[in-house]
Each structure stands twice: as C-alpha cells, then as structure tokens.
Amino acid sequence: MECQDAAVSSLSWALIVGGSAYLVHQTRSHTQYGRYVAAEGLCCPARLGWFLQEVPALLLPLLLLLQPDEPQSSRDRTRRILPLCTFMLHYFHRSFIYSFLTRGRPVPLPIVLYSAIFCSLNGFLQGHHLLHCARFEDSRLTDARTAAGFLLFLVGMTINIHSDHILRGLRRPGETVYRIPYGGMFEFVSGANFFGEIVEWCGYAVAAWTLPAFAFAFFTACSIGPRAYQHHRDYQQRFEDYPRCRKALLPLIL
C-alpha cells in the first residue's frame, strides 16, 4: 500500500486538535461514564462494551501487517514492526484480558460507539504510518532513543495493568461500590491507572518517533488526565479519611 501522506497528517492533527478540545470540555463537565452517569440510558454490559470498542485497534494494524508489502531490508522491517507490535500488545491485553476481567458498570452505548470509531481510525493511522510511511535514521542515538522508549512503554504498561488489578480487587463479583485504592502507584496518585497509560504511550511515541505516535500520546493525556482529577475530587468528597498527601495524576507534582 502506498503512503497516504495527506490522510496521515490530517488524522494526526485531528487527534491533536480534538484532544485539546476534549481537554477543555472535561474541565467544564464530567466525562459521562462509570460513577458519573446514571445507568438508565442505553448501555452495553462492561465486558462486551470494552471488547467491542478496543478490538478494532488490534485488528486494523494486524490486517495491514498481514498484507504483502514491497521488499525491505530486515533491519528496516524490524524497525517498523517493533513499535507496531508494542501498540498491538496493549490492545491485545485491553481487548482479550482487561475486557473479560472487568467488574465495571455497564458502558453507555454512545461511548462504546465513539471509542470503537476512535480505535479503528487510530489503529489504521498508527499501522499505516509505521508500515508504509515512516523513515528511520541509522544511528546509535536513534537506537538508544528507541530502546529508552520501549523501556518507558513497558514500565507504563506494568503500572497500568497493576493499578487496574488493584481497582478490580476492591469489588467482589456483582458489586458496584467504590472503595479507597491502596498499594502500588495509588500510594502517590488517585489516577494510577491513567498515569501508567500516559507513561506507556509517551514511551511508544519516543520509540516510534513519528507524528501519529506523538499525536496519540498527546490525545491520551488530554483524554484521561482529566479523569484522574475528577476521580481525585470524587474520592475527597466521598471519603473523609482519603489520604491527604495523594496527588491526582503526577506523583508529588499534580
């Protein structure tokens, strides 16, 4: 497939502009999901909802990866495929593991729909750009930067999965109550899972070093950063004994 340069830049800038607009919107009103929305409207069971909304971000890059391509040196191909595999690893976990373990409330149908559209477009954007458009420099500095990016990605993914595991452990099956999370990065921030996910996508962006990867990391920070603040405020109002030294999103800072 030929590189669709114009489509790639338009989608990347749409992520940056859309992320900024979403950030501003979330400073004024709550994200309509989970504890902030009444379960009266049209909703999808949490497990099915998470699966349906996340799996396109795994399937689209996989389809692109399986298409026959122009011959490339094995070094060049590895450089394209490795960042894409990290991206797909995240969405494999989110679609096939997180989805089936979640004990969350039903997800409003519009959120499932918007998220599925977002994951399809972003899965195509990341896959198409890495496989067909990106150009990589051959230098030790590039290798070191790529390695540092992968390391950051793994650290972020570990924090994200561990934090989501702590949250799941706060409920018995069938419960929908909220309790104070303790342990891991929750000792430092209320949005430990969000912090992990932001670190993860920053690592991916550093490893891939492409406009679409940075645009996605930026969008993620704009999209889930405010959720950490909303949860932080919610915990402070809900629990009198909520740990006072805990920050919202960034340990010791914010």
Ligand X SMILES: NC(=O)c1ccc[n+]([C@@H]2O[C@H](COP(=O)([O-])OP(=O)(O)OC[C@H]3O[C@@H](n4cnc5c(N)ncnc54)[C@H](OP(=O)(O)O)[C@@H]3O)[C@@H](O)[C@H]2O)c1
Q: Given candidates 91, 153, 186, 194, which one binds ligand X under the rule CB under 6 A?
A: 194
167 lines the binding site for ligand X (CB under 6 A)? yes
The reply on whether position 226 binds ligand X by CB under 6 A is: no
Q: Can you tell me which of 19, 88, 152, 197 binds ligand X, judged by CB under 6 A? A: 197
Binding mask 173-192 for ligand X (x = CB under 6 A): ---x-xx-x-----------
The CA dihedral of 182, 199, 20, 91, to the nearest 10 degrees, is -90
Q: Does 165 bind ligand X (CB under 6 A)?
A: no
Contact segment (CB under 6 A) with ligand X among 7-15, 66-74, 97-105, 135-143 equals 97-105
Choose which of 24, 32, 35, 182 interacts with ligand X (CB under 6 A): 35
165 within 8 A of 221, measured Cβ to Cβ = no
3-state secondary structure of 9: helix
**Any contact of residue 34 with ligand X (CB under 6 A)?**
yes
Closest contact distance (angstroms) between CB of 99 and ligand X is 10
Q: Is 252 left (phi over 0), alpha (psi -120 to 50) or beta?
A: left
Min dist. Cβ of residue 179 to ligand X (A)? 5
Indicate which single residue of 81, 116, 170, 254 sits in contact with ligand X (rule: CB under 6 A): 170
Instruction: Enumerate residues 6+ apart whose C-beta is below 8 A from 215.
Output: 11, 12, 13, 15, 16, 19
| Site size toward ligand X, by CB under 6 A | 22
Q: How far apart are CA 212 and CA 183, in angstroms?
A: 34
Least gap, CB of 234 to ligand X (angstroms): 9
State the DSSP code for 248: S
SS3 at position 124: helix
Q: What is the DSSP string of 149-200?
A: HHHHHHHHHHHHHHHHHHHHTTS-TT--------SGGGGTBTTHHHHHHHHH
Closer of 164 and 210 to ligand X (Cβ): 164
Least Å distance, CB 37 to ligand X, is 9
Q: Does 250 bind ligand X (CB under 6 A)?
A: no
Contacts of 154 (CB under 8 A, 6+ apart): 203
Residues 103 to 142: which contact ligand X by CB under 6 A? 103-105
Residues making contact with ligand X (CB under 6 A): 34-35, 102-105, 160, 164, 167, 170-171, 176, 178-179, 181, 193-194, 197, 220, 223-224, 227
